[in-house]
Chain A
């Protein structure tokens, strides 16, 4: 009997669903063992009552495995997450958004009131507009990761996560195991050359790194040592696929931290700022530090509106 799969997207961009389709041929191999019973993005499942009105009309079928992408921004998201938890045996949180809040959680630096004012009133290009509220789910005070609302069994982080991780997770689940990613940092898997010499200035990623086309990656100097802010030291490694070369590094870009925390309870901003100072760089050179270090991990209390100074 095929394994039943339900998929839901909450506050999400759809990139993590595209990644599932990107699995390509390996998907064809496992597909006969899978039965997708619910996936609004592909199957045109429509239901009313997302905001909790007309109880009983939101119907998610029972399934063995549930995937959720996206975090919780409003009460519909919460309702769907709770319903998924009730209907599936194993719940997999997919992507930076579902696991750490992702890009939408950058909004956690502001109050909902300020966000609404900005969107409907204060932006230069906006004509002040009454805020629509008929039949719309209420925004919550902050964006939460799925695990802050319901229990999550497997985490596939990344923005988006990778096709390889989808396959690994599904293959493991078919065998009745839960995929656990080893505790490694992006730097641990990065082949770039570290010279351990001090740098003094932080460059913008728009400048081109020193990366001669004819040199193998092992002989090119670490991007952080070249002065580009690279979150490799504080980011969980799993994005490299089979070659194990971190995804952005391969594209000559520094890591921006999309795979999130190396371990539970870590704080990438504290660790990264401490590491920067210890190699002689002044983190004051970095614009918008809070957003920069928490770009993908603003949920779970890491980003919040600053208290007013008395």
Chain B
């Protein structure tokens, strides 16, 4: 544990329209509580998230990037999440090359009905980024 005191991380969260964004919506309708550190960006599918978007966020002020999409096999564009998954390996390499801790990036699958899981995923990521501390990449 580190002493990151009142550090409130800024997290950019990409959610695909069909599963994770709907999951987030359901979490809201169920009045589930979760931290306000994430800024959700809705995308049609995780398959459209270019590594540029992740690196840009992490080099321009975000402390973490969380990508949420449909479970493998459930993508509404058939294999967009598979593409995202293979791209994640490239993103991890890029983070190494940019000198950003790989823990600042995470990919999770959350379905439209998994409101509880959505909340857990956000909670865990916020907690881990708080422990990691502010992004040293200025």
29 CB contacts below 8 A, A to B, read: A267-B55, A269-B97, A270-B52, A270-B94, A273-B51, A273-B90, A273-B93, A274-B50, A274-B51, A274-B52, A274-B90, A276-B90, A277-B86, A277-B87, A277-B90, A278-B87, A282-B89, A283-B93, A284-B93, A289-B97, A290-B97, A304-B99, A306-B99, A307-B99, A307-B136, A307-B137, A309-B101, A310-B133, A310-B136
Q: Nearest Cβ distance between residue A144 and chain B, in whole angstroms?
A: 17
Q: Which A-chain residue is minimally distant from B98 (CB atoms)?
A: A306
Whole-angstrom distance from the CB of B57 to the nearest CB of chain A? Answer: 12
The 5 closest A-B pairs by CB, nearest first: A306-B99, A277-B90, A307-B136, A307-B99, A290-B97
CB within 8 Å: A-B pair count: 39
Any B CB within 8 A of the CB of A218: no
Kindly state the separation between the CA atoms of A306 and B97 in the bound complex, as whole angstroms: 8
Count of chain B residues near A, Cβ 8 A: 16
Taking a contact as CB atoms closer than 8 A, the residue among B51, B86, B99, B101 that contacts A270 in the complex is B51
Question: Assuming A304-B99, A306-B99, what are 8 further A-B pairs, CB within 8 angstroms?
Answer: A271-B52, A273-B51, A274-B51, A274-B87, A277-B87, A277-B89, A307-B99, A310-B136
Measured in the bound complex, the distance between the Cα atoms of B123 and A234 in whole Å is 39
Chain B residues whose C-beta falls within 8 Å of the C-beta of A273 in the assembled complex: 51, 90, 93-94
Segment 98-128 of B: residues with Cβ below 8 Å from A: 99, 101
Give A285 Cβ to nearest chain B Cβ, in Å: 11
Chain A residues with CB under 8 Å of chain B are 267, 269-271, 273-274, 276-278, 282-284, 289-290, 304, 306-307, 309-310
- Of residues B86, B90, B101, which shows the largest number of chain A Cβ atoms within 10 Å of its Cβ? B90
State how many angstroms separate the Cβ of B88 from the closest Cβ of chain A. Answer: 10
Q: How far is the CB of A293 from chain B (nearest CB, A)?
A: 8
Residues of A within 8 A of B133 (CB): 310
Q: How far is the CA of A310 from the CA of B133 in the complex (A)?
A: 10
Question: With A277-B86, A283-B93, A289-B93 as given contacts, are A270 and B55 in contact (CB-CB < 8 Å)?
Answer: yes
Residues from chain A with a CB closer than 8 A to the CB of B93 are 273, 283-284, 289
Give min CB distance, B135 to chain A, whole Å.
10
Give bound CA distance, A179 to B50, whole Å.
32
CA–CA, A270 to B59, complex, Å? 13
> Given the complex, which residues of B lie within 8 Å of A283, measured CB to CB?
90, 93
A267 touches B99 (CB 8 A): no
Task: Name the residue on B nearest A293 (C-beta).
Answer: B97
> B residues within 8 A CB of A271?
52
| Chain B residues numbered 75-94 whose CB sits less than 8 Å from any CB in chain A | 86-87, 89-90, 93-94
Nearest CB on A from B63, distance (A): 14
Residues of A within 8 A of B52 (CB): 267, 270-271, 274
CA distance A269 to B94 in the complex (A): 8
Chain B residues with Cβ under 8 A from A307's Cβ?
99, 136-137
Name the A residues within 8 Å of B87 (CB-CB). Answer: 274, 277-278
Complex: how many Å from CA A224 to CA B33?
51
Report the bound CA distance from A82 to B99 in whole Å. Answer: 33
CA distance A156 to B111 in the complex (A): 51
Q: How far is the CB of B1 from chain A (nearest CB, A)?
A: 13
Residues of A within 8 A of B94 (CB): 269-270, 273
CB neighbours of A277 from chain B (8 A): 86-87, 89-90
Q: In the bound complex, how far is the Cα of B136 from the Cα of A304, in angstroms? A: 13
Smallest CB–CB gap between B56 and chain A, Å? 9
How far is it, in angstroms, between the C-alpha of A289 and the C-alpha of B97 when the chains are bound? 8
Most chain A CB neighbours (cut-off 10 Å) among B86, B97, B99, B101: B97
Residues of the B chain whose Cβ atoms lie less than 8 Å from the Cβ of A274: 50-52, 87, 90
A199 to chain B, nearest CB (A): 16
Q: How far is the CA of A283 from the CA of B55 in the complex (A)?
A: 17
Residue of B nearest to A290 (CB): B97
A3 to chain B, nearest CB (A): 42
Residues of B within 8 A of A278 (CB): 87
Q: How long is the Cα–Cα vector from A284 to B97 in the complex, in angstroms?
A: 11
Between A270, A276, A278, A283, the greatest number of chain B beta carbons within 10 A of the residue's beta carbon is seen for A270
Q: How far is the CB of B34 from chain A (nearest CB, A)?
A: 27
Least CB distance, B98 to chain A, in whole angstroms: 8
